[in-house]
Amino acid sequence: MAKQTAIPCVLMRGGTSKGPYFRMSDLPEDPEKRDRVLLAAMGSPDVRQINGIGGADTLTSKVAMVGPSSVTGCDIDYLFAQVSVDRPVVDTAPSCGNMLAGVGPFAIEAGMVAAKDDETTVTIYNVNTASRIEAVVKTPGGVVEYDGNAAIDGVPGTAAPILLKFMDVAGSKTAALLPTGLPREEIDGIEVTCMDVAMPMVIMKASDLGKSGYESKAALDGDADMLKRLTRIRLEAGRRMGLGDVSGKVIPKVGLIAAPRHDGSITSRYFVPHNCHAAHAVTGGICVATCAVMKETVADGVARVKKTSVEQIVIEHPSGNLAVELSVDGWGPDLTFVYGGMLRTARRLFQGELLVPASVWDGNPS
């Protein structure tokens, strides 16, 4: 029998995503070796991920790695990895706000953060974006609570609420909220806004691509010509944003926006980046919300906003709504981002040891 290496692991749902959560110390220190372990763990590359625990979908091929914080004032470090389903690619350039929802509970139950009675605030340093996030976790009696009455669209049932407050996320990857210096410009004949708040994005009106913006994920994923055009726009946007050749990267992400159909603030279809998200990314939601309130962007005149000091932005997406509490100073292209708040939920699904072939990693941390 071929030997295998056992790695302590917790499988969790974080927001509308799902994946394994690891202690950083339980994985190889070398990034290349670590990536090989993550590919083997998820079963990539394979469209079914049949030889691993990946769910054959972008939203269920994600990994969270957690360790003691390297930054003063933070409790823990969080490193996110997007593992490609059908390619041997592990991308740690972006972050994931949905998987982030499980980081606080994971850290508390792993003994990295001491739980308080009633609720515990975990200050997280996001290694991917060099930013801070506060996660408020329900801990009655010093124990993480998963049951509750909070509901988020894209997840059945209810659970205990987890409040995430994102700070320091303007210019997450490009060091500028507007990386090109322009709130609106043209790429491939389409007006776009290139913005970097929590997630670098290129945002455009769906109507400019001949779409209503209210299409289902399946309908958008099935439009090969539109996807090719989005790819051309994304590649040029990446170059203009200073991200270089992004053909092998998942950033910038793509957003198609439209006016809200119901009681929301704006409609968004979020691409990750080669297919449409079944719901909406948390980090992308903060970027879309910021675009919605800024004057002169492609969302100006499309979004329904009040322009108050703390704005409640409701993003309508394929699975329902995503609510963002947004605080900014000013409304023009020179606005200052203060914070973006989000309500998420999480659930611990499985705990134990994940096995990878010893030929991939023998368990030696170096």
> Is 212 part of a structural domain of the chain?
yes
The number of domains in the chain is 2
Model pTM?
Answer: 0.84
Q: Are residues 214 and 328 in the same domain?
A: yes
Question: Confidence class of residue 309 from pLDDT cuts 50, 70 and 90?
Answer: confident
Are 286 and 325 a contacting pair, CB within 8 Å? no
User: For residue 48, how many other CB atoms are within 10 A of its CB?
Assistant: 12
Q: Are residues 192 and 118 in the same domain?
A: no
Are 192 and 186 a contacting pair, CB within 8 Å? yes
- Residue 196 to residue 176: CA distance in whole angstroms: 7
Q: Is the pLDDT at 130 greater than 60, yes or no? A: yes
Phi, psi (deg, nearest 5) at residue 23? -75, 135
Preceding amide of 179 cis, omega within 30: no
Q: Are residues 268 and 198 in the same domain?
A: yes
pLDDT tens for each residue of 184-219:
999 999 999 999 999 999 999 999 999 999 999 999
pLDDT tens for each residue of 54-89:
999 999 999 999 999 999 999 999 999 999 999 999
Q: Are residues 104 and 193 in the same domain?
A: no
> Which residues are registered as beta bridge partners of 355?
6
Residue 224 maps to which CATH number?
3.10.310.10
Residue type, 28: P
> Is 297 part of a structural domain of the chain?
yes
Q: Are residues 235 and 314 in the same domain?
A: yes
- Residue 323 to residue 314: CA distance in whole angstroms: 4
Q: Is the pLDDT at 2 greater than 70, yes or no? A: no
> Which residues are registered as beta bridge partners of 121?
136
> Is 316 part of a structural domain of the chain?
yes
> Is 363 part of a structural domain of the chain?
no
Phi, psi (deg, nearest 5) at residue 232? -60, -45
Q: Are residues 34 and 137 in the same domain?
A: yes
Q: Are residues 231 and 96 in the same domain?
A: no
Q: Are residues 285 and 318 in the same domain?
A: yes
Are 121 and 134 a contacting pair, CB within 8 Å? yes
Q: Are residues 158 and 25 in the same domain?
A: yes
Q: Average pLDDT in the 265-279 region?
A: 96
Phi, psi (deg, nearest 5) at residue 292? -65, -35
- Residue 94 to residue 107: CA distance in whole angstroms: 21
pLDDT tens for each residue of 314-360:
999 999 999 999 999 999 999 999 999 999 999 999 999 999 999 99
Range(s) of the domain holding residue 73: 4-167+346-357
Q: Average pLDDT in the 30-40 region?
A: 98
Six token digits for residue 42: 């998820």
Bridge-based pairing state of the strands 17-23 and 4-14: antiparallel
Residue 157 three-state SS: coil
Q: Are residues 24 and 145 in the same domain?
A: yes
Angle made by CA atoms 41, 22, 319, in degrees to the nearest 5? 80
Q: Are residues 156 and 99 in the same domain?
A: yes
Q: Is the pLDDT at 1 greater than 70, yes or no? A: no
> Is 173 part of a structural domain of the chain?
no
Q: Are residues 261 and 149 in the same domain?
A: no
- Residue 121 to residue 124: CA distance in whole angstroms: 9
> Is 157 part of a structural domain of the chain?
yes
> Is 340 part of a structural domain of the chain?
no
> Is 205 part of a structural domain of the chain?
yes
Are 4 and 355 a contacting pair, CB within 8 Å? yes
Question: Confidence class of residue 302 from pLDDT cuts 50, 70 and 90?
Answer: very high
Question: Would the CA dihedral through 329, 199, 286, 125 be positive or negative?
Answer: negative
Q: Average pLDDT in the 293-302 region?
A: 97
- Residue 17 to residue 155: CA distance in whole angstroms: 9
- Residue 153 to residue 64: CA distance in whole angstroms: 22
CA–centroid distance for 42 within its chain: 18
